[in-house]
Amino acid sequence: MKIAVEGCAHGELDKIYECVETLQERENIKIDLLICCGDFQSVRNNDDLRAMAVPEKYQNICTFYKYYSGEKMAPVLTIFIGGNHEASNYLQELPYGGWVAPNIYYLGRAGVVRFGNLRIGGLSGIYKGHDYLQGLWECPPYTQSSLRSVYHIRALDVYRLSQIREKVQVMLSHDWPRGITSYGDKNNLLRRKPFLREDIESNQLGSPPAEKLLNTLKPQYWFAAHLHCQFAALVKHENDEETKFLALDKCLPKRRHLQILDLPSDYDGDKLLKYDVEWLAVLKNTNHLLSVKNINCHMPGPGGNERYDFTPTFDEKQAIEKTFEKLTISNDMFVKTAPIYNPSTPKRIPTEPINNPQTLYLCENLGIDDPIQVVMARSGRSMKTIVADSNNVEVEVTPIKCAKLTLPAPVTPSENNSQEISQENSVFTPENSFLSESGNNTSDCTTPPSATKKIFKRRNLALYTPEENEQVSETSKSPMDSGSPRSSKLPCRYNEL
């Protein structure tokens, strides 16, 4: 099995795939999988540009939109994690992962998948101590603060990954694990990046949670990006285990941004992308730990009176296998949820989250919650769903409702716990777009299979019902405020991990 590993993609998919094809021709090899270590920039249209935390002069459409619209097809299966320069509104549709375009798969906030017999894990975003213990409270429309905090990793994501016990061969993160420079040629790194010296000497360079996962999971390979330079290290663990670490540059000429990994044929298997049973069981077991409040939320640990070890048992994994008819993640699951890029339309700030059928599928089958739907329910807002008829004409649609999710509608005194949620029909017009060769296209999304009338069950009701002191009338609170609450945050110390 041959895997190509890319550092920061920064939306330059045409150039990356061109490099891959050049390598295949020059070396006479076949690359089975491409892995990207963040800053992927899956920007579909102009609205997505406004959801990236970059100055306006860097809000470039790049080339991902061609693969989203169908103008081009990714020539090799591509898996990526999120970084700190992403279309956050799109990635928030897929907190547990999913296809962002045909043959291009996002691992989610944190995730583990299988490709053939190879197990690949990933942690999206970057570490910031003041947000690490927060709940997942961010929601479009973003404030200047939430536009950045939305891609900061959270304790829940790291806690879930730390429950994994089966061997993970490849692990991905955007920023480097803290202390990794001690295991490589630090002097050479400082010659190229002298401004890193202070952080390295004070042990502030890198992510403490990633360091913890490195020592817990002990993967064979760990790939990262973020600092825009190549750096290799070898970490030796107990029992003669070792992790080969490699950080790569961004996609620019004469930069070391792409590396080919040659793995034994034992990992080949069927070379299909599949859900990982252990990871799905961890998601199910830890769903009750989800918080959408902008306050610190500590994970359970030894010494308390509640369960803190959520490593799945044999029976729990068997239950997952029975729930899913097949574990293969088919390209057919991809659905466009926003208009494709049109260069004639202006940039607008995304205001409403959109239901993604891939997330609904996982939530319904696992009985888990979509964080952004919980945020919306607590603020009295509703998710949107896009459909189109056979002539690609936009039509009105009622937001999707799911049977196994626990999202009650904002209630009135006359409602009871078993009533259906009813929402006004909403229209999504394809005004969002910007610079492309596919400028005449309109959204050709199809109706997701789960867009039928269903009833919510009220599990974890406290998650969805605003507390008394959080109630704010819609007339006195703007969508900007309700989507992105303010908070008073304290830095997270690593000893709280």
Residue 337 lies in a domain: no
Residue 60 lies in a domain: yes
Q: How far apart are CA 131 and CA 11, in angstroms?
A: 26
Rounded to the nearest 10°, the torsion over CA 224, 226, 230, 235 is -40
Residue 292 lies in a domain: yes
Peptide bond into 219 cis (omega under 30): no
Residue 127 lies in a domain: yes
Q: What is the pLDDT along the chain (497 residues), one digit of tens a residue?
A: 999 999 999 999 999 999 999 999 999 999 999 999 999 999 999 999 999 999 988 899 999 999 999 999 999 999 999 999 999 999 999 999 999 999 999 999 999 999 999 999 999 999 999 999 999 999 999 999 999 999 999 999 999 999 999 999 999 999 999 999 999 999 999 999 999 999 999 999 999 999 999 999 999 999 999 999 999 999 999 989 999 999 999 999 989 999 999 999 999 999 999 999 999 999 999 999 999 999 999 999 998 888 999 999 999 999 999 999 899 999 999 999 999 999 998 889 998 899 999 999 999 999 999 999 999 999 999 888 765 433 343 434 444 444 444 444 444 444 444 433 333 333 333 333 333 333 334 333 333 444 444 444 444 555 555 554 444 433 334 444 444 444 445 555 544 43
Q: How far apart are CA 404 and CA 459, in angstroms?
A: 9
pLDDT at position 304, please?
82
Q: How far apart are CA 312 and CA 331, in angstroms?
A: 28
pLDDT at position 229, please?
96
Handedness of CA 353, 474, 289, 486 (dihedral sign): positive
8 A C-beta contact, residue 259 and residue 3: no
Residue 288, by phi and psi: left (phi above 0), alpha (psi -120 to 50) or beta?
A: alpha
Residue 204 lies in a domain: yes
For residue 474, count other CB atoms closer than 10 A to its CB: 12
8 A C-beta contact, residue 84 and residue 125: yes
How many structural domains are present in the chain?
A: 1
Residue 186 lies in a domain: yes
Residue 169 belongs to what domain range?
Answer: 2-323
At 471, which amino acid appears?
A: Q
Q: Is the pTM of this model over 0.85?
A: no
CATH of the domain at 297: 3.60.21.10
Residues linked to residue 152 through DSSP beta bridges, in sequence order:
126
Residue 116 lies in a domain: yes
Task: For residue 257, give the nearest of 234, 225, 233 by alpha carbon.
Answer: 225
Helices (H), 140-185: 146-149, 155-161
pLDDT at position 330, please?
94
For residue 386, count other CB atoms closer than 10 A to its CB: 24
Residue-wise burial string across 51-84, b where 16 or more C-beta atoms lie within 10 A, e elsewhere? bbbbeeeebbbbbbbbbbbeebebebbbbbbbbb
Residue 460 lies in a domain: no
pLDDT at position 420, please?
38
